[in-house]
Structure 1
């Protein structure tokens, strides 16, 4: 059985039920850890035991029925009591278990982040002296796939409300399971919500996360797309292997199915594509396709028998059930993985060439932040071609692709720190281009989950959060381009459109102003508009003629909405390297507040300063990054150090200082 050698320096990992990325990946170190992890305990073999709970919800108007099935061992005749929402049902166990139902009128529902509260109700089940507890969010999540003129739609509806999924892919929080800390993981998930994400995809080459992970997602309102743990390989379909898979699926579904956050179970990651990756499967596709189908049907059957209410999707990417086409480039149906910009070296505008119904993977690499690089590299190794830096790049050709893209869009950076910063800036611009292009297609497109949220170790990767939880520039930008109410510039054949999206539950009024901006900060008004924007589709606010912007001007636009949302952005009609940027004359004043926070007041005295970012030489978190500063409009940058007693030194970077100053 072949394996994906370019991601697995240790071979044949697909033959064992172990996290695929343990064998290495194009972002993970190959450690292949083994041994016990998690809890170890002794349970009595006699006396009543609760084998599992089977929960289901029925929603009808303002009424919900929660059915609790209690499966027991050694409990015949034992007393039971089930308590939920202020009601208790009691009795005696018969025939190996019992099922009880609770009716709740006008319940407080669970909603994804930003759409309503994350109300959780306590459930307690007692059989004899054995007690099981769950926290239940009353909600209905539907996967909506409907045939239309373009193909097959793909989106989620929560409590009857269509929800555009904004988020990222999740991988294990560390390459060594024993180092994973619940508090640190919760911090990563909180960062996802802070960046206006509503969904994460637990990727199929990692692991099924512990209960506390899904508890945190329940509490934070972060929907979970859950892959079964099969990724990028061909797998056996022998009776013995499939029996092990069936037991795995039943165990994990029974453990996790009650979580309010759980939106979807997906059969695998990229196994359909893997059918064409290996000489063996290309030569004998029918044989390997039948083998895959046996595996996929085993997973689906075990899922549906364990949780009949589960939302199921066969694979990611997939054009739909029993559709084995190439969903990397097939954008009309199902979910799509769009990797042409990174792996094929296309420009960022190529993201606009596809119209996905739901893009569940797309990404662009950057270097980790300097505070992370200092953990593994001495200053003598601060060179992209040094052996140390290359050892922390696991994607073949990754460093070259980052540098090649820099040549395309920017002048070459002046120093290593500038290179690192610029790599993160271009990563943010790549993902911003994709997300805004696809949000502008709403409702044709119903979700964007970029690759990836987090890292397993300090390395060059596609993540927006550094290993350790620090925010890269992409994450700061994601908080803006994932804002539920957002305005974006989208070029098209008929001009440059300013479009608005509203992912809330009610219409908002948005006012937008557009100006032509010169590098010295002077500007002239072009147009303004006010419109009521509903929740179902992106709305055009303005259509601008690019010819109306002079050769020495950029487009600056700002907006405010009736829900309190405000924002501003700049659209450049040509690559940033084409501009003769003047020295903005950045000035900074620093102060420390009583709670240990450091506040930098930064002003541009002479000209526009683009993508201004403040850095510290110690771990911590900034409130913003990569913002544009207009002369006469200073901005505050707030830094919260991980150690409040530490004394940081600060560095300011902007496009002029990183690419012009050191070369004049």
Structure 2
């Protein structure tokens, strides 16, 4: 098949304002205007507000291109547009050839009758999504409500575009119009491949792979189907009929190498190439089985992912789009974020339903890194219409995305939406007339989405909503912890203490979180120095959860002595966030197999903001992400308050074999002196959690505020460390620790050796304005136990002098006088 790329330089113009500037495709309106100096950086200060006019304009992309007689000699010439966001009309040489109203649908349209040899013109008009939503709302017979946020474009639930473009409680309101890639003309006389997908049948010592290929042929004809897989080449003569054809073949792979989630084995991928009618498709597939066990038991209803027969405790986070400006969403950015997820032992990413179906490269990277994908469909925190017109817009979206993504080894589950079951009770309209909105919900969620998934991907579970108890279960999965997946937000949104996590026993917690500020490296990218105050206008503008900064500050008073200065405020917010999530994850992991998943909210940010993320905008690790490397480790030794003043030592082992080794538990005073010590050899059972030891109140040698407990050891070949305070931090008189440093250059980075004269807690290392990460951070440093940390820069390695100057060290005691 011949192709003519339409990517590259275009011209962008608006109506009614008449703004004109160059634009790149793939790309978006805001990125083009920013590059041309037509708008200020919407991420700086409060400039987002000054850019709201962009979303209320109609925008036209246009360019010329040339075609040869040879290209136009083919019987079919079609336009392929992977994504047009959102309300689009396409013109070729002045002729309107198509329209679309869904950013999530691939668009292919025949355009040969409108083309000519030599120069041609294409024009894509993107009408204002904001105005279109308002027009649709005015035409409704009854209101369809949606959640609203501090800066909000109205009625986003009436359009099929990324819902978070309209504003969220962690994101800006930037109603971009965009053209995604690839964008090209294709020319063929015999046929074009629409989709290729496979099915696997696993038997002892082999996997039978059924390959399905959809081919559209303009007039039909003879051709050969060629399949290459696992070193095997299969050719089958075939005759295409005009229109859509479905071709099928089978390949048997003997002695298959199975694909495993991160931490459970390797991720071998097999190259598959399908060629027919002069077109070809290539992909990589992983051989594995995935079962989702959702069954009634003595505790409620389970939710357990079983891969290749092994139950997997799912450890991970929720994913949002990597940028509010689509032009900045690249494979490089995704690779960095997903590599950071895999580096801290995550094995699952939930693609949240208010964002977008990610490009192919995202799922390729998840395949490579062993990150299971919980895939929401793009409906979130709202009610949605059940009209025939809206359902007709949705159905091709579901069909396209299921056919596009279903072959990825990482794809573990389809989920109908995010929190839309709960939304039935959020709004006055739906509380007064629940039946009306429940019917609409069922028409969309089961009548279109669920039906399409079951028809197109019957071997993969369709989970109706997150959270929910499972098919047909409308339990309150925000507060009821025994059924299916849970979103537990009582700590953040309801202001309950961190210890409330210990009262919850979820079967699978797919959302929970606590906020922190980004590092000063990021703060300085959006706030001038005179705004470095938690209640300053710019700082509040970059906090989208109402009352969020107040909640962070109030919780300081619950656990800590109030920090002095903005720099210490930022640092302590990250410590506080890490503590909150650590308490939850360590508790829920010790509940396995009752609980079999913990996905915190959220992994990443799409602009610089105070949020729940563990990776800041740009990919820098917050202290939470460093803590996650420890609390998600396959072998975990954790400490929990027990009954009657006792303390429990628990071991959790995700590995398929027992984890054996030696543990040492020391109870110390704040000078670092050991007041009590326990040491023993231990074997934590495979794929299980166990109570290893209980330290009774009588064995604790002093008042709680005078002591802390330190865990050290090597178990299952892995170093384990943990620190436990018997009392809240603010009650403890921490000593003024003097930390000394030694810095040297090593291949690929720098080594930093730290020593201290007194215990130092939540020690944080940062190389100011030098992108890169330390191999450990947010740790306890003990006297007499120097530790070496390695810093690896992301880009060019700075000089030793520059690194020495940039290195800052903070710890908990330094935050107050």
The TM tier, using the shorter chain, reads: over 0.9
Could you say which structure has the greater relative contact order, defined with CA pairs below 8 angstroms and 6 or more residues apart?
1
Residue 42 of structure 1 aligns to a residue whose secondary structure is: strand
Deviation, 1:526, is: 3.6
Query: Map of 1:590-609 to 2, 5 A cutoff?
Result: 590-595=743-748, 597-605=749-757, 607-609=758-760
Match of 2:213?
70
The answer to which of 43-52 and 19-28 deviates more is: 43-52
Match of 2:567?
417
Match status 1:83 vs 2:228: yes
Which residue of 522, 527, 532 maps to 2:673?
A: 522
Q: In the alignment, is the contact (CA less than 8 A) between 1:528 and 1:542 conserved in 2? A: no
Q: In the alignment, is the contact (CA less than 8 A) between 2:379 and 2:417 conserved in 1? A: yes
Which residue of 148, 163, 182 maps to 1:20?
A: 163
Residue 505 of structure 1 aligns to a residue whose secondary structure is: coil
Match of 2:340?
191
Which residue of 620, 631, 636 maps to 2:783?
A: 631
Deviation, 1:134, is: 1.0
Match of 2:585?
435
Deviation, 1:184, is: 1.5
Match status 1:160 vs 2:309: yes
Deviation, 1:240, is: 1.5
Match of 1:52?
195
Deviation, 1:326, is: 1.1
Going from structure 1 to structure 2, the CA distance change for 1:351 and 1:544 (only over 3 Å counts) comes to same
| Distance in 2, Cα, partners of 1:600 & 1:83 | 51
Going from structure 1 to structure 2, the CA distance change for 1:258 and 1:8 (only over 3 Å counts) comes to farther
Counting strand residues as a fraction of each chain, which structure ranks higher?
A: 2
| Distance in 1, Cα, partners of 2:441 & 2:377 | 14
Which residue of 434, 448, 456 maps to 1:285?
A: 434
Deviation, 1:112, is: 0.8
| Distance in 1, Cα, partners of 2:479 & 2:714 | 37
Q: In the alignment, is the contact (CA less than 8 A) between 1:614 and 1:637 conserved in 2? A: no
Match status 1:34 vs 2:177: yes
Query: Map of 1:300-311 to 2, 5 A cutoff?
Result: 300-311=450-461
Which residue of 211, 233, 242 maps to 2:391?
A: 242
| Distance in 1, Cα, partners of 2:721 & 2:262 | 23
Deviation, 1:227, is: 0.3
Match status 1:205 vs 2:357: no
Match status 1:512 vs 2:666: no
The alignment's TM-score, normalised by the length of structure 2, stands at: 0.79
Q: In the alignment, is the contact (CA less than 8 A) between 1:515 and 1:523 conserved in 2? A: yes
Which ranges of structure 1 fall in alignment gaps of 5 or more residues? none
Match of 1:405?
555
Match of 2:767?
616
Deviation, 1:299, is: 0.3
Match of 1:573?
726
Deviation, 1:38, is: 2.2
Deviation, 1:520, is: 0.7
| Distance in 2, Cα, partners of 1:76 & 1:70 | 16
| Distance in 2, Cα, partners of 1:510 & 1:11 | 58
| Distance in 2, Cα, partners of 1:352 & 1:554 | 20
Match of 1:654?
811
Match of 2:274?
125
| Distance in 2, Cα, partners of 1:147 & 1:536 | 22
| Distance in 2, Cα, partners of 1:623 & 1:387 | 36
Which residue of 428, 435, 444 maps to 1:295?
A: 444
Which residue of 689, 712, 732 maps to 1:558?
A: 712
Report Cα offsets for 1:534-558 as digits up to 9, x if no partner: 2342111111113422112212222
| Distance in 2, Cα, partners of 1:460 & 1:377 | 12
Which residue of 313, 331, 350 maps to 2:481?
A: 331
Q: In the alignment, is the contact (CA less than 8 A) between 2:656 and 2:687 conserved in 1? A: no
Report Cα offsets for 1:432-469 as digits up to 9, x if no partner: 00001100100000000000000000000000001000
Q: In the alignment, is the contact (CA less than 8 A) between 1:529 and 1:541 conserved in 2? A: no
| Distance in 1, Cα, partners of 2:455 & 2:319 | 27
Match status 1:141 vs 2:293: no
The answer to which of 236-245 and 586-595 deviates more is: 586-595
Q: In the alignment, is the contact (CA less than 8 A) between 1:409 and 1:577 conserved in 2? A: yes
Match of 2:738?
585
Report Cα offsets for 1:333-352 as digits up to 9, x if no partner: 10000000000111100001
Match status 1:449 vs 2:599: yes
The CA RMSD measured in Å over matched residues stands at 1.4
The answer to which of 225-234 and 503-512 deviates more is: 503-512
Match of 1:470?
620
Match status 1:369 vs 2:526: no
Residue 66 of structure 1 aligns to a residue whose secondary structure is: strand
Residue 790 of structure 2 aligns to a residue whose secondary structure is: strand
| Distance in 2, Cα, partners of 1:45 & 1:36 | 24
Which ranges of structure 2 fall in alignment gaps of 5 or more residues? 1-143
Deviation, 1:8, is: 6.2
| Distance in 2, Cα, partners of 1:132 & 1:111 | 25
Q: In the alignment, is the contact (CA less than 8 A) between 1:439 and 1:501 conserved in 2? A: yes
Deviation, 1:417, is: 0.8
The answer to which of 73-82 and 285-294 deviates more is: 73-82
Residue 50 of structure 1 aligns to a residue whose secondary structure is: strand
Structure with higher Rg: it is: 2
Deviation, 1:618, is: 0.9
Q: In the alignment, is the contact (CA less than 8 A) between 2:353 and 2:379 conserved in 1? A: yes
Residue 344 of structure 1 aligns to a residue whose secondary structure is: coil
Match of 1:389?
539
Moved over 3 A (4+): none
| Distance in 1, Cα, partners of 2:151 & 2:354 | 12
Deviation, 1:529, is: 3.4
Q: In the alignment, is the contact (CA less than 8 A) between 1:517 and 1:554 conserved in 2? A: yes
Match of 2:257?
108
Q: In the alignment, is the contact (CA less than 8 A) between 1:113 and 1:193 conserved in 2? A: yes
Deviation, 1:584, is: 1.3
Which residue of 217, 223, 235 maps to 2:372?
A: 223
Deviation, 1:314, is: 0.5
The answer to which of 166-175 and 321-330 deviates more is: 321-330
| Distance in 1, Cα, partners of 2:528 & 2:745 | 30
| Distance in 2, Cα, partners of 1:131 & 1:643 | 39
Residue 383 of structure 2 aligns to a residue whose secondary structure is: coil
The alignment's TM-score, normalised by the length of structure 1, stands at: 0.97
| Distance in 1, Cα, partners of 2:151 & 2:408 | 33
| Distance in 2, Cα, partners of 1:145 & 1:609 | 45
| Distance in 1, Cα, partners of 2:747 & 2:590 | 43
Deviation, 1:34, is: 0.8
| Distance in 2, Cα, partners of 1:259 & 1:60 | 20
Query: Map of 1:486-501 to 2, 5 A cutoff?
Result: 486-493=636-643, 495-501=646-652
Match of 2:136?
none
Q: In the alignment, is the contact (CA less than 8 A) between 1:470 and 1:619 conserved in 2? A: no
Match of 1:10?
153
Deviation, 1:104, is: 1.5
Report Cα offsets for 1:287-338 as digits up to 9, x if no partner: 1111101111110111111112122111000011111121101110100000
Residue 469 of structure 1 aligns to a residue whose secondary structure is: coil
The answer to which of 615-624 and 21-30 deviates more is: 615-624
